[in-house]
Amino acid sequence: MALRSMGFLLTFLVTEGSMRNDDFPFYYLGTVPAWRDLGSLRGTQSPHQFDKGKYHKQLKELDIEHLYQSISKLMKDSKAFWPADGPQDGDVASYAGLFERLAWHCSGTLRVVNGTATGGCEGARQRHWPENEWRDNTNLDKARGLLGQVKHEFGFQISWSDLITFAGTTAIKASGGPAKKFCFGRIDDVDGKRSIPLGVEGVKECRGNKFCKSNFECPIAFRWPEQDEDDHSQCNLTQPDHRLQASHSVGLIYVYPEGPKLKSSAKGFAEKQVHNRSPGLSALEVRDTFKERMGWTDRETVALIGGGHTLGRTHGNCNLTGTKWASHPYNDVGPFFEAQAGSLRGPTDGTCGKGASAGLAENTVSSGFEGPWARTPSQWNYDFFDAMLAEDWEPVKSPFGADQWRTKNRQSTYASTMRLTADLSLINDDTYAAIVKEYAADHAKFDSDFADAWYKLVHRSEDNPNENDLERKFGICTHFEFVK
Ligand code: HEM
């Protein structure tokens, strides 16, 4: 791939060396380089760090419509380093799904346990180690790199955490989806230290320049009685040192998409099936993560997953067969692949390709699943629930070998769409299934519930734990009146 064609992200990385003399050279990079590369800035406050008071004052001058238009334009401007999705599924090119996932993964770190909130997007710690290398966050460095263009345009008029959450909301709105309101006022963190309660024991070692892991088993774990003993385990909610554990391992903080594998003696196991992932057991994991760890109701859970998996698609991996990364394509040791001056690499860019094209475009490591959930993944639609109910789904392997599902009827109008086991969990649990049926029958109700849940998702954080805190404190909000 020609260097010139790789666009904006690469330009930033290439020129980073020449910007090192600036006070804080990396502020508009979507990913801040490893601690060891920050030299004397390590552990210090950047002179450019937001002055909270100043930021909130100047937010009053923010041209929100202009920001919305800049993001909408960027959303359709496909770059070679990660071509926008759509065309491969017969739709228009769009980064809508990518931006929505970015905002969700940034905000979805929120854990509410015993009434106390930890995490959330405020702080934008996803730009820093360790979150930038969490296995769940693969490929989101590309999204942040894209948004760097808007960050550069608006500079300190907009914090990264406001930008990331607003970009996700804009992606939904500009694709024809529901968004009722958005409020600004989030302040960025200078490092990833506050991610530690989510489970990164190795962080102290990382400071000493040793490798530390961002994807490993948690100390206290269990398997479901019907689950295969070789399958991934589920982490208990609390762990040593009062750490709130991610659901499956450090770095995989949401729900295991493939779902639990049934053991051969379990009811429902079918020898001849391509895989024996259990949507029923997966529902237990979805509830454990969304309700017990994140504090969502069942209704909010269904609305969020359905709205999340309406736009965008899953992405297979580059081919790692025969390489030392074949069994662990994610960057589970680090800081190692983080963007370093002159390395031309982002944090999730380590495993495929060489030199300037490493980790970009077809050399990207992503989830390993393949396909969209909907027939029009760039435009808001109702396929997620409609197809889930209308079709029978059969187990299938993605080209990368991941366990997923496709329509049994290969002539179906939905034949090009896919489902994860975690998606199908929503029709394999009585409470979830009743809500799925309601949403399939009443799309307006789904839109409204999704918009409310999304608002709550992107507005709550450790710093502002109630969904209306930002509005109450700063009052810089939009109802998107300018969108025709
Ligand atoms: C059970 C919970 C969930 C699981 C297991 C899950 C899993 C996944 C996986 C495996 C991908 C593919 C990533 C890739 O290959 O690029 C993905 C993509 C995506 N997810 Fe989820 N997800 C969940 C919930 C959500 C929620 C709650 C939202 C938003 C509210 C969301 C929004 C998205 C979006 C927009 C994409 C498409 C990304 C793109 O087009 O690049 N997901 N999800």
Q: For every one of its 484 residues, what pLDDT tens digit does the chain have, with 9 covering 90 and above?
A: 222 233 333 333 333 333 332 333 444 556 665 544 444 444 444 444 567 888 999 999 999 999 999 999 999 999 988 899 999 999 999 999 999 999 999 999 998 877 788 899 999 988 887 787 777 888 888 898 889 889 888 988 999 999 999 999 999 999 999 999 999 999 998 877 787 656 544 444 444 444 445 555 677 888 999 999 999 888 887 776 666 666 665 556 678 899 999 999 999 999 999 999 999 999 999 998 899 888 899 999 999 999 999 999 999 888 777 776 676 655 544 434 444 444 545 555 556 777 667 777 888 888 889 999 999 999 999 999 999 999 999 999 999 889 999 999 999 999 999 999 999 999 999 999 999 999 999 999 999 999 999 999 999 999 999 999 999 999 999 999 999 8
Q: Which amino acid belongs to residue 286?
A: V
| Choice from 164, 172, 314, 400 to test ligand 1 binding pocket (greatest atom count within 8 A of CB) | 314
Domains and CATH numbers, the chain: 3-192+454-478 (1.10.520.10)
Burial track 281-311 (b if 16+ CB lie within 10 A, e otherwise): bbbbbbbbbbeebbbbebbbbbbbbbbbbbb
Q: Which of 105, 128, 232, 248 is catalytic?
A: 105
CA–centroid distance, 369 to ligand 1, in Å, is: 11
- Dihedrals phi, psi of 44, to nearest 5 degrees: -100, 165
Mutate to test the pocket of ligand 1, among 78, 79, 104 (most ligand atoms within 8 A of CB): 104
What is the Cα–Cα distance from 96 to 307, expressed in whole angstroms? 12
Is 105 tagged catalytic? yes
CA distance 440 to 74: 32
Q: Mapping DSSP to helix (H, G, I), strand (E, B) and coil, where does residue 227 land?
A: strand
Nearest CA, atom 19, ligand 1: 101
Q: From ligand 1's centre to the CA of 428, what distance in Å?
A: 19
Ligand 1 site, residue 98, Cβ cutoff 6 A: yes
Residue 72 CA to residue 96 CA, distance in Å, equals 9
Helix 383-390 vs helix 430-441: crossing angle, to nearest 10: 120
- CB of 307 shorter than 6 A to ligand 1: yes
Tell me, in angstroms, the distance from the centre of ligand 1 to residue 85's CA: 14
Which ligand 1 atom sits closest to the C-alpha of 97?
40
